[in-house]
Amino acid sequence: MGILDGKKGIIFGALNEQSLAWKVAEAAHKEGAQFTLTNAPMAMRLGEINGLAEKTGSKVIPADATSMEDLNNLFEESMEELGGKLDFILHSIGMSVNVRKKIPYPEMNYEYQHKGWDVSAVSFHKVMQTAWKKDAMNEWGSILALSYIAAQRVFPDYNDMADNKSYLESIARNFGYYFGKEKKVRVNTISQSPTMTTAGIGVTGFGGFLGYADAISPLGNASADDCANYCVSLFSDYTKMVTLQNLFHDGGFSYTGISKEVMDHFIDDKL
Amino acid sequence: MGILDGKKGIIFGALNEQSLAWKVAEAAHKEGAQFTLTNAPMAMRLGEINGLAEKTGSKVIPADATSMEDLNNLFEESMEELGGKLDFILHSIGMSVNVRKKIPYPEMNYEYQHKGWDVSAVSFHKVMQTAWKKDAMNEWGSILALSYIAAQRVFPDYNDMADNKSYLESIARNFGYYFGKEKKVRVNTISQSPTMTTAGIGVTGFGGFLGYADAISPLGNASADDCANYCVSLFSDYTKMVTLQNLFHDGGFSYTGISKEVMDHFIDDKL
Amino acid sequence: MGILDGKKGIIFGALNEQSLAWKVAEAAHKEGAQFTLTNAPMAMRLGEINGLAEKTGSKVIPADATSMEDLNNLFEESMEELGGKLDFILHSIGMSVNVRKKIPYPEMNYEYQHKGWDVSAVSFHKVMQTAWKKDAMNEWGSILALSYIAAQRVFPDYNDMADNKSYLESIARNFGYYFGKEKKVRVNTISQSPTMTTAGIGVTGFGGFLGYADAISPLGNASADDCANYCVSLFSDYTKMVTLQNLFHDGGFSYTGISKEVMDHFIDDKL
Amino acid sequence: MGILDGKKGIIFGALNEQSLAWKVAEAAHKEGAQFTLTNAPMAMRLGEINGLAEKTGSKVIPADATSMEDLNNLFEESMEELGGKLDFILHSIGMSVNVRKKIPYPEMNYEYQHKGWDVSAVSFHKVMQTAWKKDAMNEWGSILALSYIAAQRVFPDYNDMADNKSYLESIARNFGYYFGKEKKVRVNTISQSPTMTTAGIGVTGFGGFLGYADAISPLGNASADDCANYCVSLFSDYTKMVTLQNLFHDGGFSYTGISKEVMDHFIDDKL
């Protein structure tokens, strides 16, 4: 028996075994949840997700999260498949063409920016608007998106994904207000430690950055498995009154200014 | 089987059935935890805590949380009683003589202030110093204290308890750094909705304030039972990498600037 | 002699006497600054800006702030007119079709959203990219945009402008990093009290909201004139090391949880 | 003519030429302010402050800032000397015996802690209570205290001064509420870059830390002279509606997560 027994949901963004969404699916399954898996049709072609679907007894429903039509279909099929309304949604989607093409932030390409904003942030509003219009969420349901601390502080290589995450977190607050007042549903984002996923690997200097974050954080970087456990707690009934928040899950990184380990690197740099 | 099976702890501050600590004790017991209960000898005399002890199979060990000697004894007896090191601690202690005597903040009595600071904030450091020196915490243990949003924003009737809560949250961060780095133990505070406890009732105009908070919060005020569930999740292994934080548990109060319900009260107050 | 003597700049967004940008232009002129004024060609047709231009000895250069071509021309003409590089820029631009058409946030129209995001937020990046590529800023220059606390907390009627302001503030941080490191230029946003401007008047229930904000804020709502003075201080050399920040200018609203005046409205709403 | 012409104040904490308060006194004098200087009688014996007094035409009035009697006398003498009520106060006082004696945070000595809390934080309340009871502030006056970002994030060597600064900032908010509502006076703290003052030099590893902060901050560390200019702007009428805030003055440190310069130190530490 698990803490998500009887709960139903949709999980966006499981690409391969490194994905946070993949780990969440495994953990939610272990805790008794049923869910559908979805990703962009293009990402589907890689086919790894079928292994996860089999392992967790889930149906895969391709959907472009920027298309209201695809989302409409996804929610209908999911509720049919799961036999009712939903208790949780995980949004783990992010992409920046400016990052991929290593275009420095001050030289931003605005078409690429628009694309990344639409995929990484607006898609979260579209997912919730679809759920809202279909009245697809059960009372005391939980909607989560994955974010990053670049929404609060500058991490230069994170580029326009920082702006997208700020927008994403703002959507969580604003839609969370309505979902709370009218549907008793909570909406939050999790700000996770840097994690060696396919998305992470694309960021310049990611290895050095992982080392820095690990050296600052009193508990070290949070792993993808830890993140999955935390997501499970936020889908469960133990956290029913937590809403409109961006929740740091990072081993203490966000509230540590400096650590002994980091200072040792600067000991000879005296002014 | 519960999510705290096999976990051992100490719970400070259960006074009567309205107390947050009382609810946490009940919830932790239900989830399989074992713990000792403690409160100030003076609060003990009221005797209600014995009912809770019986119900949860817990030993009551009186201790003045400002006395290192009492705390020393409490930790020794607790580890002996529970048969080993601890996995969790709840600090739910707060008191302001300035509040009780309704002394306005600008006219603060500094002896009363000192007393309240010692009981409400420094006691948390003393509890952790005792645990630290005795090496009383198991790895991946969790230490929690209860706080309030007056640590971030002004709620005038909260008086010097606001300053005490700021200090308390700072202790959580700073001791959390050391407990994380050296013992893999996490330390957090929960910033709970205003709750109709014995402590709450003492605050001037508390009824009106409860109504305001409830009208702002998208999910309404979080109850003491919800708070207990949230504490349980933070003692469990689902949240191992959450540390150094002040976690709002308030139905969305902290991130809502205004609600329709509140604005309706001001509709005729146009400037 | 004024504290902006010899400083040159561009001021975006002066529409009429109520505009914050209008007040900033007047105050900057009084302090000895020289600047050009700009607004969207459509807003120009209303013609009021010419009075301000005359009063402050400024040239008006129409520019659509979403057009890199227009911005390019604006910066070239401005530097020619002013005889050199710039010391300050004010971005006071915001517009939401969803607000204007009173489309509730959960029913967001995504074309309108895109338009508002482009005008209200991306335009700030475009302004800075233009300045960056032309190397148009003097060292220790200051770039400011006007924001609102809806970027941090939910004010439901503010709709998608809340998300736009979050994105705007993120741009300030991220571009501010590069402008700081490479050009010694600071970038900040000011989060101003609700103000009875043409933009403010468009928001549903704005009158009631002004009353609420005024009743919470210990100093009352900050006026447009006060805001202009604050902007002047941030363009001056008194604030050279303030950067990457969102600065509240709101009479204390942002750090007040409740005031006596507000609580009096809820005194009979006891739970 | 300066921006503090005709303004009167009290400046606490000028010890020697490195002191922030010393620089503020010089800058305020240059801008036309008149003020008295004060410090603890023990600090006075070193005598350097007399040079500053002479230079700025100020009277020195010794006062122990933890003594209500001394403060009472200080305010009376100051108003007599300056010929009227005050427009500004600077509180630049901080001391931790635990830091001086290099006692690690988890082993805190509670008598030393009490002493440091009283001197570094409670003194700010006492200063304001004295001003409040004597009705010593003019309308639109400005009260400032100096703080540090250790109040928000952990900097381990800052020890219990971190907790004291949290308490200090809380006092600013809470007293600021009353001073705003009833006297139109604003109260803020400035969170300054680490600065090589006598106090700073006492912190273990301060040199290495200065280097780190400078490498993170897009504009580099803010100097004591820059800090003085910023204080002047906050005493002036340009910032009348800024209150209840902790204002970062740090070259962008607080909102920068990592910089290229810092990441270069970790480039070989890949996990």
Select from C155, C103, C146 the least CA-distant residue to C123.
C146
High-pLDDT (> 70) share of chain C, %: 96
Per-residue burial over C102-116, b = 16 or more CB atoms within 10 Å of its CB, e = otherwise: ebebbebebebbbbb
Nearest C-alpha in A relative to C153: A173
Q: Quick one: B139 exposed, middle or buried, by C-beta within 10 A (0-12, 13-18, 19+)?
A: exposed
> Which of the 8 DSSP states describes residue B154?
B
High-pLDDT (> 70) share of chain A, %: 96
Select from D92, D85, D30 the least CA-distant residue to D58.
D30
Select from C111, C157, C164 the least CA-distant residue to A126.
C111
**pLDDT means over runs of 10, chain B (271 residues):** 95 95 98 97 82 97 98 98 98 96 97 98 98 98 98 96 98 98 98 85 76 95 98 98 98 96 72 37
Mutation pick from C258, C260, C268 vs chain B, by most beta carbons of B within 10 Å, is C258
Q: Residue B269's pLDDT is what?
A: 46
Contact B259 A184 (CB under 8 A): no
Contact D205 A263 (CB under 8 A): yes
Query: For C19-28, what is the mean pLDDT?
Result: 97
Contact A177 C156 (CB under 8 A): yes
Q: Tell me the nearest-neighbour CA distance from A107 into chain D, angstroms.
A: 17
Chains in contact with C, where contact means 3 or more Cβ–Cβ distances below 8 Å, are A, B, D
Crossing angle for the helix pair C160-183 and C123-133, to the nearest 10 degrees: 20
Distance in angstroms (rounded) separating the CA atoms of residues B89 and B112: 27
- Per DSSP, chain B holds a count of helices (H) and strands (E) of 12, 7
Distance in angstroms (rounded) separating the CA atoms of residues A161 and D215: 23
Mutation pick from C64, C98, C105 vs chain A, by most beta carbons of A within 10 Å, is C105
B248: Cβ–Cβ under 8 A, 6 or more apart, which residues?
A242, A245, B149, B190, B191, B254, B255
Residues C7 and C89: beta-carbon distance below 8 Å: no
Q: Which helix (H) or strand (E) holds A12?
A: strand A8-12
Q: Quick one: D269 exposed, middle or buried, by C-beta within 10 A (0-12, 13-18, 19+)?
A: middle
Report whether pLDDT(C198) > 90.
no
CA atoms within 13 A on the CB side of B2: 19
Report whether pLDDT(C269) > 60.
no
Mutation pick from C137, C167, C182, C243 vs chain A, by most beta carbons of A within 10 Å, is C167
Select from C40, C39, C65 the least CA-distant residue to C52.
C39
Going by pLDDT thresholds of 50, 70 and 90, the confidence category of residue D206 is confident
D27-84 tens-digit pLDDT: 999 999 999 999 999 877 777 899 999 999 999 999 999 999 999 999 999 999 999 9
- Judged by DSSP in three states, B265 sits in helix
Q: Residue D270's pLDDT is what?
A: 41
Select from C246, C249, C90 the least CA-distant residue to C170.
C246
Q: Residue C202's pLDDT is what?
A: 67
Report whether pLDDT(A202) > 70.
no
How far is the CA of C178 from the CAs of A159, C86, C138, C165, D257, in angstroms? 11, 17, 14, 20, 13
Q: Which helix (H) or strand (E) holds D229?
A: helix D224-235
Phi, psi of C146 (to 5 degrees): -95, 130
- D149 token code pair: 């970002």
Contact list in A for residue C126 (CB cut-off 8 A) is 110
Query: For C12-40, what is the mean pLDDT?
Result: 96
Q: Tell me the nearest-neighbour CA distance from A257 into chain D, angstroms.
A: 5
Contact list in A for residue B181 (CB cut-off 8 A) is 218, 259-260
Q: Residue C268's pLDDT is what?
A: 56
Q: Residue B268's pLDDT is what?
A: 56
Q: Tell me the nearest-neighbour CA distance from A209 into chain B, angstroms.
A: 19
Contact A241 B230 (CB under 8 A): yes
Dihedral of CA atoms B249, B255, B261, B266 in degrees, nearest 10, equals 130
- C30 token code pair: 């009084």
B133-185 tens-digit pLDDT: 999 999 999 999 999 999 999 999 999 999 999 999 999 999 999 999 999 99
How far is the CA of A256 from the CAs of A250, C58, D152, in angstroms? 11, 48, 9
Q: Rounded to a whole number, what is the distance in angstroms from the first to the last CA of chain D?
A: 59
Contact A173 C162 (CB under 8 A): yes
Going by pLDDT thresholds of 50, 70 and 90, the confidence category of residue A1 is confident
Q: Residue D213's pLDDT is what?
A: 95
Crossing angle for the helix pair D110-117 and B123-133, to the nearest 10 degrees: 150
Count other Cβ atoms within 10 Å, centred on residue B204: 14
Select from A78, A74, A90, A68 the least CA-distant residue to A13.
A90
Beta carbon pairs, A and B, within 8 Å = 127
Mutation pick from A163, A168, A246 vs chain C, by most beta carbons of C within 10 Å, is A163
> ipTM of the assembly?
0.96
Dihedral of CA atoms C178, C180, C186, C192 in degrees, nearest 10, equals 50
Most distant pair of Cα atoms in chain B: their distance: 66
Select from B139, A124, A118, A3 the least CA-distant residue to C118.
A118
Going by pLDDT thresholds of 50, 70 and 90, the confidence category of residue D202 is low
Contact C162 A174 (CB under 8 A): yes
Distance in angstroms (rounded) separating the CA atoms of residues A248 and B170: 17
Describe the strand order of the beta sheet including D34-38 as a list of residue ranges.
D59-60, D34-38, D8-12, D86-91, D137-147, D186-192, D246-249
Contact D257 A208 (CB under 8 A): no
Q: Closest to B3 (Cβ–Cβ): which among A3, A177, A242? A: A3
Residues A217 and A250: beta-carbon distance below 8 Å: yes
Residues A188 and A176: beta-carbon distance below 8 Å: yes
Q: Residue B131's pLDDT is what?
A: 98
Report whether pLDDT(A268) > 70.
no
Report whether pLDDT(D119) > 60.
yes
SS (HEC) of A93-160: CCCCHHHHCCCCHHHCCHHHHHHHHHHHHHHHHHHHHHHHHCCCEEEEEEEEEEECHHHCCECHHHCH
Q: Tell me the nearest-neighbour CA distance from D215 into chain B, angstroms.
A: 23
Q: Residue D269's pLDDT is what?
A: 46
Contact D215 A266 (CB under 8 A): yes
